[in-house]
């Protein structure tokens, strides 16, 4: 019993970190859902993210807390998940959107340069 009492701050820290990880999984799912407009993918990805979040919670609880369900662990997990989704998720989404826009701009410029070179070769012949 003493070991469990001494390791509670560590347990709370890891549960909060895995709550953030679960929130990032949902953010990535939202990003993919916006880029791929498919109803099946939407339902499947939502189901997969919920399943993965539940799986993460159970494995973290099993590994760190020996499978004991305690209210404060569940509360900390969902509070960290909600905090990530509300505050950090918006920041992450904006950063990923900027990165994606820069990447597509570079790809578009490279494609336009290839087309321009092909046209120049045809004109030279």
Domain ranges for the chain: 2-88
Q: In this structure, what are the phi and psi dihedrals at residue 68, rounded to the nearest 5 degrees?
A: -85, 125
Maximum distance among all Cα pairs of the chain, rounded to whole angstroms? 85
Q: What is the pTM of this model?
A: 0.68
Q: pLDDT tens string for the chain (125 positions)?
A: 556 677 788 888 988 999 888 888 888 888 788 778 788 888 888 899 899 888 888 888 888 877 787 888 889 988 998 898 888 878 877 887 888 888 888 888 877 777 777 777 766 65
Distance between the two ends of the chain, CA-based, in angstroms?
85
Burial 45-83 (b: 16+ CB within 10 A, else e): beeebeeebeebbeebbeebbeeeeeeebeebbeebbee
């Amino acid at each position: 019993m003493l070991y469990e009492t001494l390791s509670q701050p560590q347990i709370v820290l890891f549960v909060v970190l895995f709550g953030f990880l679960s929130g990032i999984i949902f953010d990535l799912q939202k990003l993919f859902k916006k880029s791929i407009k498919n109803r099946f993918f939407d339902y499947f990805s939502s189901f997969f993210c919920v399943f993965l979040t539940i799986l993460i919670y159970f494995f973290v609880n099993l590994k760190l807390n020996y499978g004991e369900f305690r209210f404060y662990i569940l509360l900390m997990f969902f509070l960290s998940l909600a905090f990530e989704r509300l505050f950090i998720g918006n920041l992450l989404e904006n950063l990923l959107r900027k990165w994606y826009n820069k990447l597509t701009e570079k790809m578009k410029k490279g494609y336009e340069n290839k087309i321009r070179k092909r046209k120049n070769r045809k004109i030279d012949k």
